[in-house]
C-alpha cells in the first residue's frame, strides 16, 4: 500500500506536506501572500465511501504549510469564503497584538466574503502553525489548521526538512465529520463514528529515505484535544526544539509527549537497514509516518549536531517578578462551584452547566470582562498555576513564550503551551515584553469552549481593539518578496 519509489512518494508528499515553498525570503524582505478559507472536500480514509466535507485553507484540509525565512515581514491577506465569520491566529508567534487573530479581543471577526490583511515580522525561527480563533473547536475540527515554518537563516545540514501536522477526525458511516463540537474530542456526535488520525491529511505519510540520511522532523499536534505520545523505530536522534524554541542542549530522542498545539523538532538519522521501513508511531501503535529505506546514503552517520541558533528571548528576573495565582476548576470529577461570567453575574454550578460552561479560570467561566492580570511592559511575571481539576490541561499563552520554574529557580526550556496533569501545580515565568491583550487558555479546545479561557494585559491600555485599528486595505498583488 506504500508507494515504492521515492519519486512517487515525493510527488505525493509535495501536494500535502507543506513542502512547496510559497515564499522563502531573506531577512528584511517582505513576503506577500494570500490565504482563502472555504468549504471543500478531503479524503482522510481510503475506506470512506465518499470524500469528507470539510473547511480548508486554499482548498485543503489541513491547509498547505508555508515556509519563510526568519526576519521576513509577512503580509498575508486572509480571504473568508466560509459560511461563518473567522480569523487566523498564528500560534506561537511573538507577534504584534493587532495581528494575533483573536476575535473579540484583538480584532473583529472577518465576516463571510470579506478579508483581513495580517502583517507581521517573523522574529523567531521555528515550527509554528495557524488556525482560526473564533469557535475554535468547531472550526479546527472541520479542517482549518496549517503549518507555518520559519527557517533559520542558516538551517542545519539535513537531507530533508518535513513537517507533520497531526489531526484527528471522527467520521460517520458516510465519511462525514462526526465530531461533537460542544464536547470532548474523545466523544463523537455519532456513537458509531470511526476514529482517524492523519498527518498532513494522510494516514500514514510515506517518505522514501536511505540509511544514514539525516531528517528534520517537525511534529505539530493539531488535534483538538488529544495528548500524543510518539516514538520511532529505525530512526535515532535528538529533540532540537520545543514549541519553536531551540533547546540549548538537545536531548536524545526516545519518546515525546505532546499536548494539543505543542510542537517538537527532531533531528534523526536513519538507522534501519536497506529494505526495512523506519516508522514514527504513537504509543497506541498507530503509524504516523513510514520511511522505506532504499540503499545507503553514506557509510557512517554524521557527527552529533550542535544546538539550533537560539531565538532572542529576554530572561526573566525572578527576584523582581510580579506574582499571581491562576486556579482552574471544573470537569466531571472536580468541583466547578460558583463562577462569574461575562457581564459580571455570579452563577451557581447548575446555572453554569445549563449554559454549557463547566470549566473556570480564576473564578470565571468563559472570557472575563477584565484581564486576569495587568502588568507593565518589560516586567517579569510569575504565575502559579493550580490545576484544581482531575484532568490534564494544555495551557497556552499568546504572544510570549514562558519557562516553567523548576527546583531552586531553575528555568525549564521555553514553551508556549504546557501540559499539566490533573491536580498539578506549577509556576511559569516570562518577561511581559509584548504589549497588548493576550489570551491564556486551555488548548484542549472543548475545555476552552466550555469556559477555560482568560487573558492578560501587557502595558498601555490602548490596544488594537480600543483604538479600532484595522490594518487592511494596503494589500497589493505583486512579488512574493
Residues near ligand C2O, by CB under 6 A: 89, 91, 131, 133, 261, 396, 398, 439, 441, 443
Q: What is the closest distance, in whole angstroms, from the C-beta atom of residue 359 to Cu ion in the complex?
A: 7
Q: What is the closest distance, in whole angstroms, from the C-beta atom of residue 92 to Cu ion in the complex?
A: 18
Nearer to Cu ion by Cβ, of 211 and 387: the residue is: 387
* Contacted by 444, from Cu ion, ligand C2O, none: CB < 5 to 8 Å by type: Cu ion
* Contacted by 447, from Cu ion, ligand C2O, none: CB < 5 to 8 Å by type: Cu ion
Written as nine digits, the cell of 474 is 494596503
Among 146, 326, 442, 449, binds Cu ion (CB under 5 A): 442
The stretch near Cu ion (CB under 5 A) out of 101-109, 399-407, 447-455, 459-467 is: 447-455
Nearer to Cu ion by Cβ, of 88 and 444: the residue is: 444
Assess 447 for contact with Cu ion (CB under 5 A). Answer: yes
Distance (Å, rounded) from C-alpha 295 to C-alpha 265?
25
Q: What is the closest distance, in whole angstroms, from the C-beta atom of residue 389 to Cu ion in the complex?
A: 8
Q: What is the closest distance, in whole angstroms, from the C-beta atom of residue 468 to Cu ion in the complex?
A: 33
* Contacted by 396, from Cu ion, ligand C2O, none: CB < 5 to 8 Å by type: ligand C2O
Is the bond leading into 62 cis (omega within 30 degrees of zero)? yes
Q: Of 274, 127, 288, nearest to 206 (Cα)?
A: 288
Q: What is the closest distance, in whole angstroms, from the C-beta atom of residue 447 to Cu ion in the complex?
A: 3
Q: What is the closest distance, in whole angstroms, from the C-beta atom of residue 424 to ligand C2O in the complex?
A: 21
Residue with cell 510527488: 11
Nearer to ligand C2O by Cβ, of 209 and 417: the residue is: 417
Q: What is the closest distance, in whole angstroms, from the C-beta atom of residue 281 to ligand C2O in the complex?
A: 25
* Contacted by 403, from Cu ion, ligand C2O, none: CB < 5 to 8 Å by type: none
* Contacted by 216, from ligand C2O, Cu ion, none: CB < 5 to 8 Å by type: none
Burial (CB count within 10 angstroms: exposed 0-12, middle 13-18, buried 19+), residue 141 = buried
Strands 160-171 and 194-199: antiparallel
* Contacted by 13, from ligand C2O, Cu ion, none: CB < 5 to 8 Å by type: none
Distance (Å, rounded) from C-alpha 454 to C-alpha 143?
25
Phi, psi of 157 (to 5 degrees): -75, 115
The SS3 call for residue 198 is strand
Distance (Å, rounded) from C-alpha 21 to C-alpha 18?
8
* Contacted by 441, from Cu ion, ligand C2O, none: CB < 5 to 8 Å by type: ligand C2O
Q: Of 185, 178, 226, 183, nearest to 353 (Cα)?
A: 183
Nearer to ligand C2O by Cβ, of 239 and 449: the residue is: 449
Which of the residues 381 through 400 are near Cu ion (CB under 5 A)?
393
Q: What is the closest distance, in whole angstroms, from the C-beta atom of residue 210 to ligand C2O in the complex?
A: 36
* Contacted by 439, from Cu ion, ligand C2O, none: CB < 5 to 8 Å by type: ligand C2O
Distance (Å, rounded) from C-alpha 123 to C-alpha 72?
8
Burial (CB count within 10 angstroms: exposed 0-12, middle 13-18, buried 19+), residue 318 = middle
The long-range contacts involving 184-192, CB below 8 angstroms and separated by at least 24 positions, are: 184/225, 184/444, 184/446, 185/141, 185/223, 185/224, 185/225, 185/226, 185/444, 185/445, 185/446, 186/225, 186/226
* Strand ranges in 297-434 using DSSP code E only, listed in sequence order: 322-330, 339-340, 346-347, 359-361, 373-375, 380-387, 393-397, 403-404, 417-420, 425-431
Site for Cu ion, rule CB under 5 A: 393, 442, 444, 447
Amino acid at each position: 500500500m506504500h508507494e515504492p519509489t521515492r519519486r512517487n512518494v515525493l510527488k505525493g508528499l509535495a501536494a500535502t506536506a507543506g513542502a512547496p515553498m510559497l515564499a522563502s525570503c531573506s531577512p528584511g524582505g517582505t513576503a506577500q501572500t494570500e490565504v482563502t478559507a472555504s468549504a471543500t472536500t478531503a479524503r482522510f480514509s481510503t475506506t470512506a465511501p465518499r470524500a469528507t466535507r470539510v473547511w480548508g485553507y486554499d482548498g485543503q484540509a489541513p491547509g498547505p504549510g508555508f515556509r519563510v525565512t526568519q526576519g521576513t515581514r509577512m503580509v498575508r491577506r486572509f480571504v473568508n469564503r466560509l459560511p461563518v465569520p473567522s480569523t487566523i491566529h498564528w500560534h506561537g508567534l511573538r507577534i504584534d497584538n493587532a495581528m494575533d487573530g483573536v476575535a473579540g479581543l484583538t480584532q473583529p471577526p472577518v465576516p463571510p466574503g470579506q478579508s483581513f490583511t495580517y502583517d507581521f515580522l517573523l522574529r523567531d525561527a521555528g515550527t509554528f502553525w495557524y488556525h482560526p480563533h473564533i469557535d475554535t473547536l468547531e472550526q479546527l475540527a472541520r479542517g482549518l489548521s496549517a503549518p507555518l515554518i520559519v527557517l533559520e537563516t542558516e538551517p542545519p545540514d539535513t537531507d530533508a526538512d518535513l513537517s507533520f501536522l497531526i489531526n484527528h477526525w471522527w467520521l460517520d458511516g458516510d465519511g462525514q465529520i462526526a465530531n461533537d463540537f460542544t464536547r470532548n474530542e474523545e466523544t463523537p456526535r455519532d456513537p458509531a463514528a470511526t476514529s482517524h488520525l492523519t498527518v498532513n491529511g494522510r494516514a500514514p505519510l510515506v517518505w522514501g529515505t536511505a540509511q544514514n540520511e539525516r531528517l528534520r522532523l517537525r511534529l505539530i499536534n493539531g488535534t483538538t484535544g488529544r495528548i500524543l505520545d510518539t516514538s520511532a523505530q529505525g530512526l535515532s536522534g535528538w529533540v532540537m526544539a520545543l514549541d519553536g524554541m531551540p533547546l540549548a542542549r538537545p536531548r536524545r530522542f526516545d519518546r515525546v509527549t505532546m499536548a494539543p498545539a505543542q510542537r517538537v523538532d527532531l533531528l534523526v538519522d536513519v538507522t534501519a537497514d536497506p529494505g526495512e521501513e523506519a516508522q514514527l508511531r504513537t504509543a497506541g501503535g498507530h503509524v504516523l509516518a513510514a520511511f522505506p529505506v532504499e540503499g545507503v546514503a553514506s557509510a557512517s552517520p554524521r557527527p552529533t549536531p550542535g544546538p539550533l541558533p537560539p531565538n532572542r528571548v529576554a530572561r526573566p528576573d525572578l527576584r523582581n517578578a510580579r506574582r499571581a495565582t491562576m486556579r482552574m476548576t471544573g470537569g466531571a470529577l472536580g468541583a466547578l462551584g460558583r463562577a462569574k461570567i461575562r457581564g459580571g453575574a455570579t452563577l451557581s454550578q447548575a446555572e453554569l452547566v445549563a449554559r454549557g460552561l463547566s470549566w473556570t479560570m480564576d473564578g470565571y467561566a468563559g472570557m472575563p470582562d477584565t484581564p486576569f492580570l495587568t502588568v507593565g511592559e518589560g516586567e517579569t511575571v510569575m504565575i502559579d498555576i493550580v490545576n484544581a481539576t482531575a484532568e490534564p490541561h494544555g495551557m497556552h499563552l499568546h504572544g510570549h513564550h514562558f519557562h516553567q520554574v523548576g527546583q531552586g529557580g531553575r528555568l525549564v526550556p521555553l514553551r508556549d503551551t504546557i501540559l499539566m496533569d490533573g491536580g498539578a501545580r506549577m509556576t511559569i515565568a516570562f518577561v511581559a515584553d509584548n504589549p497588548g491583550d493576550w489570551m491564556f487558555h486551555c488548548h484542549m479546545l472543548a475545555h476552552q469552549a466550555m469556559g477555560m479561557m482568560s487573558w492578560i494585559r501587557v502595558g498601555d491600555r490602548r490596544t488594537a481593539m480600543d483604538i479600532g485599528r484595522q490594518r487592511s486595505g494596503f494589500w497589493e498583488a505583486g512579488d512574493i518578496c
